[in-house]
């Protein structure tokens, strides 16, 4: 499975690189917005996650197993040599857990499918207008206006499922041969 995912990522990257080369060749701008979500792994509402997984056709048995792995999870905080009492974690996905990118991917895919993305955005293989993996999202467009519309729509959709964008850590970039752009 890891090879299959890696292969897909390489195909997307290759297509994206070819797209950027063509835009550069024809001296067209590519506007990119790198979204950063505030505490994405901490803010996903578990009950929403379970509904999303079922809606995507994940077998209920597997959803129950995921639910069991996230239910009744506790943590402790260490400051210096002092360790706190244990406390319950209610919304957290285990960030260093190998399973964690999968739920975030489903949550973002759910939000993306709810978004009617503007036609002026980037299309890779006729379908992609953004690149996403885990909690990293790169929205692309041919103009700042298109990029802004797509970003606002996606931000609204992700807010509904508990994700909030960090404006301080979100970055904007224009790729162009013209040095005065942006």
> How many other C-beta atoms lie within 10 A of the C-beta of residue 41?
19
- In the numeric block, the tokens 């606002």 are attached to 152
Pair of tokens at residue 105:
């991917």
Q: What is the pLDDT of residue 7?
A: 53
Helices (H), 26-167: 40-43, 46-55, 60-70, 101-114, 144-160
Q: What is the pLDDT of residue 3?
A: 41
Q: What is the pLDDT of residue 60?
A: 95
Give the bridge partners for 137, in sequence order. Answer: 35, 132
Of 137 and 53, the structure prediction assigns the larger pLDDT to: 53
**Residue 9: pLDDT over 90:** no
DSSP label of 77:
-
Of residues 95, 90, 89, the one with CA closest to residue 41 = 95
pLDDT band at 5, cuts 50/70/90? very low
Q: How far is CA 63 from CA 92, 110, 122, 139, in A?
A: 16, 16, 34, 30
Tell me the per-residue pLDDT of 43-87, one tens digit each, with 9 for 90 and over.
777 888 899 999 989 999 999 988 887 777 777 788 899 988 887
DSSP label of 68:
H
> How many other C-beta atoms lie within 10 A of the C-beta of residue 147?
24
Q: What is the pLDDT of residue 167?
A: 85
Q: Tell me the range of 39-43, 124-128, 139-143, 164-168 where mean pLDDT is highest.
A: 164-168
Please, is 94 exposed, middle or buried when counting C-beta atoms within 10 Å of its C-beta (0-12, 13-18, 19+)? middle
**Residue 165: pLDDT over 90:** no
Rounded CA separation 59/46 (Å): 17
Of 169 and 95, the structure prediction assigns the larger pLDDT to: 169
Find the mean pLDDT for residues 143-157: 83
Of 182 and 54, the structure prediction assigns the larger pLDDT to: 54
Tell me the per-residue pLDDT of 76-130, one tens digit each, with 9 for 90 and over.
788 899 988 887 766 556 556 666 677 778 888 888 777 655 455 545 445 457 7
pLDDT band at 180, cuts 50/70/90? low
CB under 8 Å to 172, separation ≥6 — which residues? Answer: 31, 32, 33, 34, 147
Rounded CA separation 46/117 (Å): 26
Q: What is the pLDDT of residue 124?
A: 45
Rounded CA separation 142/121 (Å): 6
């Amino acid at each position: 499975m890891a090879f299959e995912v890696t292969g897909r990522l390489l195909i997307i990257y290759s297509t994206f690189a070819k797209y950027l080369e063509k835009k550069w060749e024809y001296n067209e701008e590519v506007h990119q917005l790198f979204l950063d979500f505030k505490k994405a792994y901490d803010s996903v509402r578990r009950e929403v996650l379970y509904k999303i997984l079922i809606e995507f056709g994940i077998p209920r048995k597997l959803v129950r197993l995921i639910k069991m792995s996230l239910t009744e999870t506790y943590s402790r905080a260490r400051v210096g040599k002092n360790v706190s009492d244990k406390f319950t974690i209610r919304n957290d996905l285990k960030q260093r857990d190998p399973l964690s990118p999968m739920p975030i991917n489903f949550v973002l895919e759910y939000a993306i499918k709810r978004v009617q993305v503007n036609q002026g955005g980037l299309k890779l293989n006729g379908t992609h207008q953004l690149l996403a993996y885990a909690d990293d999202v790169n929205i692309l467009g041919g103009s700042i206006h298109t990029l802004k519309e797509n970003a606002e729509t996606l931000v609204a959709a992700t807010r509904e499922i508990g994700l909030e964008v960090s404006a301080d850590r979100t970055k904007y970039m224009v790729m162009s041969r013209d040095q005065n752009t942006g």
